[in-house]
Amino acid sequence: MCRIEFCLLVFSISIIDASTLNGAQPSSRNNELKQFPSDFLFGAATSSYQIEGAWNEGGKGWSMWDHLVRTAPEHIADNTTGDVASNSYYFYKRDVQILKELGVNIYRFSISWPRILPYGRPDYVNREGVDYYNNLINELLANDITPFVTMYHWELPQNLNERGGWLTRDTDDENIIDWFGDYARVLYREFGDRVKHWLTINEPYIHCNHGYGYANHAPRRSSPGEGYYECGRNILLAHARAYHIYKEEFSQGGQVGIVLSCDWAMPSTDSEADAQAVLDYFDFHFGIYMDPIFSPQGNQPQSLIDRIANMSAAQGYSESRLRPFTEEQIDYMRGTSDFLALNHYTSYIVYKNESVNGMYVVPSHNDDAQIGMYRDPSWLQSISPWLYGYPAGLHNLLVYIKNKYNSPTIYITENGFSSNPGLIDNDRVTYYRGYLNAVLDALDDGVDVRGYCAWSLMDNFEWAAGFTVRFGLYQVDMNDPERPRTPRKSALVYKEIIRSRVIDPEYNPDPYETDGSYVIKTSCVFVITLALLNIVL
Ligand code: BGC
């Protein structure tokens, strides 16, 4: 028996050579330097809470992250907050300068809901917040950089969180679907004359898993078998609401899409059970959000619906923990994305066998998925335990999406690697070269991938990891009130790729040879030290 997904998966895997499955890091299929098409868009990405700072300035209200870092500071690895972060609220012009320096075509940033609507609802719009984003957008456009704007990157106004947030029900008089739609309407009205690429909601899987499943992120709810699914259900409906509002109430000629994360998964062995584990991986991490919007029939994968219903019944629930959508809701969500904004970081090897039983909390979506996951230790390891570089995974994933979902237009809106502070980031360089080569391979295979954003433009507040890990192309000195941004080696390599449209493996720039502020500051410190020594001696 071969389900259609399984056939597509086998097809996707069959186009990968054996070294790929063994975990090798192929750069490109042949030795000649392949070129990105002239209309391929390069960019860099950030999100508001992670970079903006000014947490209680300019009329901004509290988000649930502002609440978390004040009420449970011990929950952030280094007890830090995003109160100031890279201080982009004040230094946004410098952000545009470094984007210009890189030569990018697009900048993906997000809008903080409580900076625009301090209490979450549109009866009070904070004009200072609107001015801030107007200034940023205008500065970008003046520098020929196209804004890709995320409406929601996890900063729910605390006020709405206290009223139930992503766990309200669509049948409630007051619910998050209406709230998000009303917020989206304000954004289109204020910025839609200039913003033509809207990204509704960032990564339902990660947001619901960490925020409502396992309590790692705000609002730290712990309900991996129920709240997790409820959150995802609401996000799908809220996204669809924002899409319909744009199409029905505005004539601004832009596009609206959702941001989904998906890593690649390959089977541990060639057994049928492990092939099933791969199907389950994609159903539970991706299909659950992707199918309702991008599949021709709509709705979540039937296999997933059945699995959760059966497990819920066996656990004594009177109805499935995954509440079914009505026919009307299925129609409402289907086709509501003009493009797929895809975030991708890493890959897994997955398996399904008896040892998976008892591995996870019951009930939980991980227990429902019934799979175990691990990595090949030979893959490029970052300093984040979850992030290993395996570039072929991106190529495989892009081909899988093309084949399974009728070749949607894709923008890669996040891809990146974490490291310690420091300007010489050779592993990040290796990662970016590998993954950009994977994009070139996917283009060769006819995937409609139109753009790529590196995560991240600069160092930022990495959620529960605080500032203990760095993702920036540009290093930010978090101890300096001026928050200088200094290009790492990876920034110089990326810049050259954007300029030349090829990935030259020999290019080996030295970040200390730029005229960046780091060099100037270091020289100043050196001169002052010499002068002091002179006085002392
Ligand atoms: C998120 C970013 C985060 C990145 C690295 C993505 O899932 O969208 O906000 O910084 O992963 O962890």
Instruction: Answer whether residue 131 shows pLDDT above 50.
Output: yes
The letter for the amino acid at 128 is E
Pairwise CA distance, residues 181 & 183, whole Å: 5
305-330 per-position pLDDT tens digit: 999 999 999 999 999 999 999 999 99
Number of Cβ within a 10 Å radius of residue 119: 15
Comparing 5-9, 44-48, 95-99, which segment has the lowest mean pLDDT?
5-9
- pLDDT grade, residue 31 (50/70/90)? low
Q: What's the rounded Cα separation, in Å, for the pair 526 and 532?
A: 10
Is the model's pTM score more than 0.85? yes
Give domain status of residue 256, yes or no: yes
If pLDDT is split at 50, 70 and 90, which confidence band does 535 have?
low
Q: Which residues contact 304 (CB under 8 A, 6 or more apart)?
A: 283, 284, 287, 288, 322
Q: Is residue 532 part of a domain?
A: no
Say if 520 falls within a structural domain: no
pLDDT tens digits along 366-397: 999 999 999 999 999 999 999 999 999 999 99
Q: Which residue lies with its CA nearest to atom 3 of ligand 1? A: 462
Count of domains in the chain?
1
Q: Is the CB of 276 under 6 A from ligand 1?
A: no
Task: Give the mean model confidence (pLDDT) for residues 467-480.
Answer: 98
Nearest-5° Cα angle at 158, 321 to 166: 20
The answer to whether residue 295 sits within a structural domain is yes
DSSP H or E run through 44: strand 41-45
The yes-or-no answer on residue 414 being catalytic is yes
Residue 42 CA from chain centroid, whole number: 16
Is 87's C-beta closer than 6 angstroms to any atom of ligand 1?
A: no
Q: How far is CA 38 from CA 42, 103, 439, in A?
A: 10, 14, 14
Angle separating helix axes 176-191 and 127-142, nearest 10 degrees: 50
Catalytic one among 139, 190, 414, 462?
A: 414
Helix/strand/coil (H, E, C) string of 213-229? HCCCCCCCCCCCCCHHH
Domain assignment of residue 282, yes or no? yes
Q: Using one digit for the tens of pLDDT, what is the confidence trace for 72-130?
A: 999 999 999 999 999 999 999 999 999 999 999 999 999 999 999 999 999 999 999 99
Query: What region does 167 belong to: left with phi over 0, alpha with psi -120 to 50, or beta?
Result: alpha
What proportion of the chain, given as a percentage, has pLDDT over 70?
A: 90
**Residue 202 in contact with ligand 1 by CB distance below 6 A:** yes
pLDDT tens track for 221-262: 999 999 999 999 999 999 999 999 999 999 999 999 999 999
Residue 525 forms part of a structural domain:
no
**Mean pLDDT, to the nearest integer, of 461-477?**
98
Using pLDDT thresholds of 50, 70 and 90, give the confidence band for residue 522: very low
The distance in angstroms from the start CA to the end CA of the chain is: 85
Task: Provide the CATH number for the domain around residue 113.
Answer: 3.20.20.80
Percent of the chain with pLDDT over 90: 89
Task: Give residue 364's domain range.
Answer: 3-506
Within-domain flag for 355: yes
DSSP per-residue codes, 19-34: HHHTT-----SSSS--
Q: Which of 344, 455, 458 is the pocket-test mutation for ligand 1 (most atoms within 8 Å of CB)?
A: 455
pLDDT at 1 over 80: no
pLDDT of 207 reads: 99
354 band by pLDDT with thresholds 50, 70 and 90: confident
Atom of ligand 1 nearest to the CA of 259: 8
Residue 253 lies in a domain: yes
Residue 426's SS3 state is helix
